[in-house]
Structure 1
Amino acid sequence: MKREVLGAGVAFAVGVVLIAGRAHLERDVPAWVLVVPLAITCAAVLVRQRAPLVCLGLGVIGITLDGFVGPSLGTVLVFTDNLYAAALYGPAGLARVLLSVTAALAVAGGAVAGFIAADWRMLAVMGVQAALVLVTPVTTALVLREQRDRAAVERVRAEQVAHLAELDRQAAIAAERTRMARELHDMIANHFSAIAIQSTAALSRKDLDPATVRKVMESVRENSVKGLAEMRSMIGLLRQEGDEPEATRPRLADAETLVERVRRAGLVAEFRVEGEACELPASVDLAGYRILQEALTNALKHGDSPVDVVVSYEPAQVVVSVENAVSERGARLPGAGAGLIGMRERASLVGGSFEAGPQGSVEAGGRELQAGPRARGGGGWRVLAVLPTSPSPSPSLTPKAADVDRSVPGPVGSRRR
């Protein structure tokens, strides 16, 4: 508001000076009369931003009166600002209408002047002058208005891009947290489940001889040391940049170590490899290892002997299957409920399929898991993961839509994992 008041005051003062300097058309009216239309147009300057239509109306009234009593140069100059403000701050449609009207008035004014003076040169002179007074302010306002609108659009677009970037960042953080949680769950649960089961067994048995207790404690210590080592290894991988080093990546070829750990925890386990072992893609190798690790952890928590593990290397895929009897005593350790979900996610991330459920209900990747020699007889639990090893897996590897861990009835499906 202070700027408008200052601008109106300066314009009025300059207009009065011009009137005093006789910068107007002489007519039979006192000079002070010319101050009235000047004051009206200067009053319009006070509301040029808050009420551009009022500004235009006052300006038209002032320039019309000035045409009868003058005209004076000061009033004409202030009126150009009235037009400019109306075109810039008023509605968009008003600016286009003003451009058409002022252009028509400039042509008409030049034609009338030329007709009255009977000289075509007067037409050109008056037409140019009218265009400078009427058309130029409106055109300038239209250009500035377009630039302002374009800047507003770019600002909105930049805000949208920043918002999308923030959403992408949050999604990346959530995905990384999920990956870290999955790795920690699969890596630590196996070791600490074995520790908990072995220590519970040692504490519940009072008739164990020192040699047996020592053997149990050695196994507990071994699982603790390996768990800490894998934890340090994972922390190191999270801190460094680049791909995962080959030397520290868990491999499906180390499946025998996982099975041996289950044996030391007290379960009877059998392991066999079918087909010729081959080099697997890093993502498939890690997914297969973690799925097997989690399946064996669940067998420790909820299952019973015997446990049958099969890793089958086929031309375009590797199949990991785990069968175990279901413990009639119930779960040895409480589960977090994330095991089946994590295994299914790992298989899906590499384009494979995963299913788990009671024997006779498990089918994945277009094939049904056949009962192993130790798990035959029914009442067991089966886990089957089919992981493609070629870049373009066949349609048969598409995961089924059924969610076994949610749909399996009975206490087995509701209690496990």
Structure 2
Amino acid sequence: MAVRPLRPPRFDVAVALAGLLGGLLLWGFGLGVRPGDDPMVLFGGRWALLVPLGVTAGCELLRRTAPRTALLTGTLALAADTTTQGSIATIVMFTDLMYAAVVYGSPATARRLPWITGVLTLAGMLVPYAVWRVPEALLIGLVVGALAFAPASTGLIVRNHRDAADAARLQAEQTALLAEMDRVQAVTAERSRMARELHDLVANHLSAIAIHSTAALSLDDPGTSKDALTVIRENSVQGLSEMRRLIGILRDGADDREPSATPTLDGLGALVAGARANGLDVTLDAGH
């Protein structure tokens, strides 16, 4: 569930002001839910309905910061509104408080309110009809359903869709995170492989250069020195070429060519020849 804001959002302030101004406009024109001579109107004064209207508008400020408190207070205000001529704005704002309590309230509140309002709707239809035995008694339950059950059910549907969207977004973020981790691991493994390959190739060529340079310096033989310098040059060129190739792989990020250090049967002869040129006594047994 999302963290509730500490202060009323601007939208809630706008809803509260719109409900209050709308109720005042209806009150100014003398429009109420019931006429002043209705037997249910206990407080028929012109100013009586402004109290529930103002309290309900104040509850709209708490529709997201304290939805359950707003609904309980709004219910008391609606009950008080039934003792006056009543205001349509108060009734409309109460339905919004019921909706907000399900959408922004706790999970327990979101589960219970549709059931509670549903039971009240059925009771509002069956009990009055059982007492008065007239079809008009069923209208009480319909009114309860329109004011309570309908907004609570709508809020539950909206909340379920929102939770499903949040779950899908979280799963997508986790999938993206796992994919990024796999990519990083693959890049790390590839860099480790290149580092090993670079070490093996350069170490091989540098070893050959060191051996033949030592031989060229220790032997006073022009032929031997020339052969040693030839091997040194070949290993230097090959080592530089391999280093450039691997650096190119690191810069470009991909290389379709097979690394020259990869042992294959086709390159076995060249590998043996290179080892012999480096001064090693290597033989190739074709039988194996």
State the TM-score, normalized to the length of structure 2: 0.82
- Shift in alpha-carbon separation, 1:250–1:96, aligned structure 2, 3 A: closer
Q: Does 2:235 correspond to 1:223? A: yes
Paired residue type of 1:270:
V
- Measured against aligned partners, the alpha-carbon deviations of 1:44-85 in whole angstroms (never above 9, x if no partner) come to 001111111210121111012112334433322211111111
Deviation of 1:223 after TM superposition, in Å, equals 2.0
| In 2, Cα distance between equivalents of 1:17 and 1:158 | 49
The 3-state SS of whatever aligns with 1:252 is: coil
Aligned match of 2:5: none
Q: Contact 2:71 / 2:101 at 8 angstroms: preserved in 1?
A: yes
Contact 2:275-2:282 within 8 A present in 1 as well: no
Structure 2 residue ranges without an equivalent (≥5): 1-7
1:22 paired with 2:31, answer: yes
The superposition leaves residues 126-148 of structure 1 with CA deviations (integer Å, 9 ceiling, x where unpaired) of 32222111101101110111111
* Count of aligned pairs between the two proteins: 272
1:171 to 185, 193, 206: 185
1:201 aligns with one of 215, 237, 256:
215
Instruction: Name the amino acid aligned to 1:51.
Output: A
Find the aligned partners of 1:46 and 1:94 in 2 and give their Cα distance.
Answer: 19
Residue 111 (structure 2) aligned to one of 81, 86, 96? 96
CA distance in 2, matches of 1:152, 1:213: 75
Task: Kindly indicate whether the alpha-carbon contact (under 8 Å) linking 1:191 and 1:224 is maintained by their aligned counterparts in 2.
Answer: yes
CA deviation vs aligned residue, 1:280-299 (integer Å, no higher than 9, x gap): xxxxxxxxxxxxxxxxxxxx
Equivalent position of 2:69 in the other structure:
54
> Does structure 2 retain, via aligned residues, the 8 Å contact 1:256–1:271?
no
Match for residue 150 of structure 1 among 152, 164, 168: 164
Q: 2:285 aligns with which of 260, 267, 273?
A: 273
Separation of aligned partners in 1, 2:274 and 2:130: 110
Structure 1, unaligned runs of 5 or more: 276-311, 313-417
Shift, 1:180, TM fit: 1.7
Residue 137 (structure 2) pairs with residue 129 (structure 1): no
- Give matches, 1:176-255, under 5 Å: 176-203=190-217, 205=218, 208-231=220-243, 244=257, 251-255=264-268
Question: Does the Cα contact within 8 Å between 2:22 and 2:89 map onto a contact in 1?
Answer: yes
One-letter code of the match for 2:101? A
* Cα distance change on mapping 1:30 and 1:47 into 2, 3 Å: same
Once the two structures are superposed, residues 358-392 of structure 1 have per-residue CA deviations (whole angstroms, 9 ceiling, x without a partner) of xxxxxxxxxxxxxxxxxxxxxxxxxxxxxxxxxxx
Q: Distance in 2 between matches of 1:149 and 1:141?
A: 12
| Partner Cα separation in structure 2 for residue 246 and residue 94 of structure 1 | 65
Identity %: 38
Q: For residues 248 and 96 of structure 1, do their structure 2 counterparts lie closer, same or farther at Cα, with a shift above 3 Å needed?
A: closer
Q: Tell me which of the two structures has the higher relative contact order, counting C-alpha pairs closer than 8 angstroms and 6 or more residues apart.
A: 2
2:32 touches 2:87 (CA, 8 Å); kept in 1? yes
**More strand, by proportion:** 1
The structure where helix makes up a greater share of residues is 2
RMSD of the alignment, in Å?
A: 2.8
